[in-house]
Chains A and B, each alone.
Chain A
Amino acid sequence: MKFGILISEGPYTHQAADSALRFTKAAIKAGHEIDRVFFYHDGVNVGTRLSIPPQDERNLQQEWSALAKDHGVDLVICIAAAQRRGLLDENEAKRQGKDANNIADGFRISGLGQLIEMGILSDRLMTFGD
């Protein structure tokens, strides 16, 4: 079965990104496909490579990046939500005249259409938020 995952809350403050990660790992283990994970609202903050959680804590960004690398999970960050919150990839930073970018490996920035498309193409859409 094809699952789409929507994460609509930021990391560390809320448990949503943790719950989504555990659900995603369990789904892959059970042989399901995770087509796409869409990060919206403060959820976009999961995708910054500049976060440095204490060493004895989980690193949510790295765990998601690893899922993209190992299982080809498509990690999409909403561009409108990302721009509000200071998440930029290299192209967007150039286009907006900003001096830095911060998107982590395995994440890409795209439009809200990707969320709707995920709803159309997946068998089940799971939302994790607050």
Chain B
Amino acid sequence: MSETVKKFLYVNRKAPYGTIYALESLEVVLIGAAFDQDVSLAFLDDGVFQLTKGQDTKEIGVKNFSPTYRALGDYEVTKLYVEKESLAERGLSADDLQELVWEDEDDDYAEKPSIRIIDRTEMAKLMANQDVVLSF
């Protein structure tokens, strides 16, 4: 089974906290990392809100899971594609997002950014070029 490597794309289109989808999607990504598949995450529409800086859930009683995105690099989940148009439509830019990095073993453990901003055309191509699309 482990010899099969499929391209998995996790599509995130929903904002965090209002519903549980973002958190439970992240849980799948973390578990899925153990399966050594070719994993990418796509953030578009309200999904871009999952990655914003400065989330503080103390006063709503819900667990703040935004720091977990920073751990993804340690799980070798290093490809987080964020759609430029979705950011712009929401008045956001890349500066509003957390800085996420991964360490490249093949490059003397250099820290490299995990977030890649792509446009809508590139996002469509990314979606078309997968074996499994998981959306929640």
In their complex, do chains A and B touch, with some C-beta pair under 8 Å?
Answer: yes
Which residues of A are interface residues toward B (Cβ below 8 A)?
A: 6, 8, 40-41, 80-81, 111-113, 115-117, 119-121, 125, 127, 129
Which candidate, B29-37, B43-51, B83-91, B95-103, is the interface stretch facing chain A? B29-37
In the bound complex, do residue B134 and residue A127 qualify as a contact, i.e. CB atoms below 8 Å apart? Answer: yes
Contact pick for B31, options A113, A127, A129, CB 8 Å? A113
Main secondary structure of the interface of B (DSSP, over half): mixed
Distance from B15 Cβ to chain A, minimum over Cβ atoms (Å): 15
Residues of B within 8 A of A129 (CB): 135-136
- Within 1-53 of B, Cβ neighbours of A (below 8 Å) are at 1, 4, 6, 8, 20-21, 24, 27-28, 31-32, 34-35, 37
Distance from B125 Cβ to chain A, minimum over Cβ atoms (Å): 20
Contact pick for B132, options A81, A112, A113, A125, CB 8 Å? A125
- Using CB atoms, name the residue of chain A closest to B6: A120
Residues of A within 8 A of B35 (CB): 113, 116-117, 120
In the bound complex, do residue A119 and residue B6 qualify as a contact, i.e. CB atoms below 8 Å apart? Answer: yes
**With A6-B134, A125-B134 as contacts: A116 and B1 at CB distance below 8 Å:** no
In the bound complex, do residue A120 and residue B134 qualify as a contact, i.e. CB atoms below 8 Å apart? Answer: no
Q: Complex formed: what's the CA distance from A119 to B6 in Å?
A: 9
Distance from A5 Cβ to chain B, minimum over Cβ atoms (Å): 13
- Using CB atoms, name the residue of chain B closest to A112: B31
**With A6-B134, A41-B20, A127-B134 as contacts: A120 and B27 at CB distance below 8 Å:** no
Residues of B within 8 A of A80 (CB): 24, 27
Distance from B10 Cβ to chain A, minimum over Cβ atoms (Å): 11
Residues of B within 8 A of A111 (CB): 31
